[in-house]
Amino acid sequence: MSRSIAYNSSPLLASPTPVWRSKFIVAAIALAFAGLAGRAVYIQVIENDFFQKQGEVRFARTLALPANRGRILDRNGVILASSIPVPSIWAIPEDVDRDPENLKKLAKLLGLTMAELNKKLEDEDKSFVWLKRQVDESVGKEIEALKIKGVYQRKEYKRQYPEGEAAAHVVGFTSVEDMGQEGIELAFNKDLGGRSGSRRVIKDRMGRVVEDVGEQIAPVDGRDLQLSIDSKVQFFAYQTLKDAVLLHKAKAGSVVVMDVKTGEVLALANYPSFVPDKRQNLTGEQLRNRALTDSFEPGSTMKPLVIGLALNTGRVTPQTQVQTAPGRLTIGSATISDSHAHGMLTVSEVIQKSSNIGTAKIALQMPAREMWEMFSSVGFGQKPQVPFPGAVSGRLRPYKGWRPIEQATMSYGYGLSVSLMQLAHAYTMFGRDGDLPPISMLKVDGPVTGQPIFQPKVAQEIRDMLHLVVGPGGTAPKAQTMGYSVGGKTGTAHKQEGRGYAGHRYRGVFAGLAPIDAPRIAVAVMIDEPSDGKYFGGENAAPVFSKTVQQTLRVLGIAPDMKVVPQVVTEAVEESF
Amino acid sequence: MMRINMLLLLCVVVSALYLVNVQYESRHLFSELDRARAQAHKLEVESERLQVEKRAQATSARIESLATLRLQMRPANPAITTYVAYAASTPDPAGAAKPVNPSSSSGQVR
């Protein structure tokens, strides 16, 4: 320990290296650290959001949660329309394996020709092409079994309409994108559609969802819609109408059945119709919901309304005598006539025999304003309060411009126009105590109170007159139906053509009630241009009324109110226990 | 002092490992749950599809055509219908409406 070695004075250390070099290294390393720290701050503090986002893009996904479109149900909960996911076939053209054998099979399954399929696949730049949207489940499975490379499937919601053409006009249909296009589907598109939601998730390498991140927006499913339609009544009405239109070689026809107690529409059918699932070659003729979109001159079916007004104001009673001889009446420069000269008729008989002159004479006792007010209050000249696309208001001119001859012709249904729905609606008040319930396409619970138009006594008197129409000596004995008492009014109108009337083109109408003593339903039938010579409403429309009433009352479970001769072969015997 | 520190360190390590495990478990369960949900949705859709299918097989149009063509049936009308009225207060309408009585059905079996 005498002396230590002086390392710092070692000759080895006495190197020529200058001191700044070591300092430089230290500085360089320090700078590198500072750089790293700076970068860390940059990433974690300054541009944090950007990098967070970039990271998330790589593992977080937003999944759309589609909302189910609500179902459309009839009054008994039977499905009229419902959305079902079905496969849609798509392809990436450049990836498609072009094995002709397989492609031929594919084309056959898709119902395409080879040329059509090749055309779809020829554009190789496209990375997505629909081969066919919304095919059947079984077709989808078979295509899957072919295992063609580059051909894929995706589930899409498709609307199913089990009732087919019978309810096509009421229910309507949706587009391939599940948007309402016609009928109830369009009218209530917002309610049915719902609102789709979304959720943000983290997916792992395998594509499994492992975590929810952020807030979920739950989808709001569309509301189920319960219509007032009864699918059985609807079917029978359509079937009967179709048979009648074909039998009378008519151009078209419509029928509306309404519940008198609630103002609900039980059935609304038109012919020609269409199958909602097969809409490739659809014509406007088929698509038209005539009962609402076509207005026509209602002819004699207006008479009960005018007579009702006269009774209501006390101007006449059912027994008041009206002179209709000699079957012609000149008002101003025009002459109106009856098909037969009837002579002296009571007011009841005016309805029963459908006398134009009788009605016109009674109408001319009343001021134009009163008639106009009555017509407006039952909804003529106004859009019916049903949320239906294309419903027309019909034509009712302001009373100030009415000349006496116009008032006279209007009393028997010329010079104003209504839709069949408006006509059926107006007749519901005769089935009640003279009050008019609001029309409803949706199910209504319990009876409703309407807007009073006539006194209850007048409604009763009109019912009696309507009953006479279908009895002996009336214009529509063919409207009678087994077991149920009915009443109604025929109408036969020349069709308007340009400014005048077509001589040989008619429209047969019948509107009535059943059972007549305590009405439950109002039915209106219209047959457009029957061409087999039977052009009277009593001959073409009344039988449709008869059959529709028969089936409807049966479906509604209403016991017959008339005696029928039973044809039951075996008598029922008391059951023994 | 040192010993406590070591103990705490051990605790931290164990807790960290446990956290990793729990995280793993939770992701696992979550994906399970998600799969179950997807399955539920699929079944719901399937049931809806079957309901529609059932309805399509039982529409009035189909019944009518099968009944008239294949079974040669005709529409009922009041003349060939026996109406049975029962009071609204009948306690068991289903029992009253039972079509076949026990004795006759046993007779058929024999």
Which of B45, B56, B83 comes nearest A559 by C-beta? B83
Give me the pLDDT at residue A19, please: 84
Give me the pLDDT at residue A112, please: 81
Give me the pLDDT at residue B12, please: 96
From CA B45, how far away is CA B34, in angstroms rounded? 17
Instruction: Enumerate the residues of chain A whose CB falls inside 8 A of the CB of residue B34.
Output: 208-209
Element (H, E) at A295: strand A295-296
Give me the pLDDT at residue A502, please: 66
Using N-to-C axis directions, what is the helix angle for A356-363 and A404-411, rounded to 10°?
130
Highest mean pLDDT among A28-42, A321-335, A443-457, B50-64: A28-42
Question: Which of A502-506, A527-531, A549-553 has the lowest average pLDDT?
Answer: A502-506
Q: What is the mean pLDDT of the segment spanning A185-196?
A: 88
A570 touches chain B (CB under 8 A): no
Can you tell me whether residue B74 is helix, strand or coil?
A: coil
Whole-model pTM: value is 0.80
Give me the pLDDT at residue A175, please: 86
User: Cα separations (Å) of A86 from A138, A153, B43, B64?
Assistant: 10, 10, 14, 29
Q: What is the mean pLDDT of the segment spanning A239-266?
A: 93
Average pLDDT, chain B: 79
A370 CB-side CA count, 13 A: 18
Share of chain A above pLDDT 90, in %: 33
DSSP string, A266-291: EEEEEES---TT--TT--HHHH--HH
pLDDT category of residue A13 using cuts at 50, 70 and 90: low
Phi-psi region at A183: left, alpha or beta (left = phi > 0; alpha = psi -120 to 50): left
Give me the pLDDT at residue B96, please: 41
Give me the pLDDT at residue B94, please: 44
Find, among A208, A248, A203, A196, the residue nearest to A65 by Cα: A196
Token look-up 């008994």 returns: A76
Is the pLDDT at B109 greater than 70? The verdict is no
pLDDT category of residue A39 using cuts at 50, 70 and 90: very high
Number of C-beta neighbours around residue A154 at 10 A: 11
Are the C-beta atoms of A287 and A268 separated by less than 8 Å? Answer: no
Share of chain A above pLDDT 70, in %: 94
Relative to beta strand A451-452, strand A197-203 is: unpaired
pLDDT category of residue A377 using cuts at 50, 70 and 90: very high
Instruction: Enumerate the residues of chain B whose CB falls inside 8 A of the CB of residue A568.
Output: 79-82
**pLDDT by residue (tens digit) across A437-476?**
999 989 988 888 888 999 999 999 999 999 998 888 888 8
From CA A478, how far away is CA A512, in angstroms rounded? 12
B51 touches chain A (CB under 8 A): yes
**ipTM of the modeled complex:** 0.73
Taking an 8 Å cut-off on Cβ atoms, the answer to whether A235 and B59 are in contact is: yes
Is the pLDDT at A344 greater than 80? The verdict is yes
A573 touches chain B (CB under 8 A): no
Chain A interface mutation, best of B34, B52, B98, B105, highest count of A Cβ atoms under 10 Å: B52
Give me the pLDDT at residue A425, please: 93
Give me the pLDDT at residue A6, please: 63
Hey, which residues of A are catalytic here? 300
Average pLDDT, chain A: 86
Residue A28, C-beta contacts closer than 8 angstroms, at least 6 positions apart: none
Q: Apex CA A415: angle with CA A298 and CA A464, to 5°?
A: 40
pLDDT category of residue A535 using cuts at 50, 70 and 90: confident
Is the pLDDT at A61 greater than 60? The verdict is yes
Question: Which of A211-215, A392-396, B35-39 has the lowest average pLDDT?
Answer: A211-215
Which of B30, B49, B80 comes nearest A84 by C-beta? B49
> Judged by CB atoms within 8 Å, which residues 84-103 of B form the interface with A?
84-85, 101, 103
B61 touches chain A (CB under 8 A): yes
Per the DSSP assignment, residues forming a β-bridge with B24 are none
Give me the pLDDT at residue B104, please: 38
Is the pLDDT at A389 greater than 50? The verdict is yes
**pLDDT by residue (tens digit) across A92-135?**
887 787 778 888 888 888 888 888 888 888 776 677 888 888 88
pLDDT category of residue A9 using cuts at 50, 70 and 90: low
Q: What is the mean pLDDT of the segment spanning A295-312?
A: 92
Is the pLDDT at B75 greater than 60? The verdict is yes
Number of CB pairs, chain A paired with chain B, less than 8 A apart: 85
Taking an 8 Å cut-off on Cβ atoms, the answer to whether A164 and B60 are in contact is: no
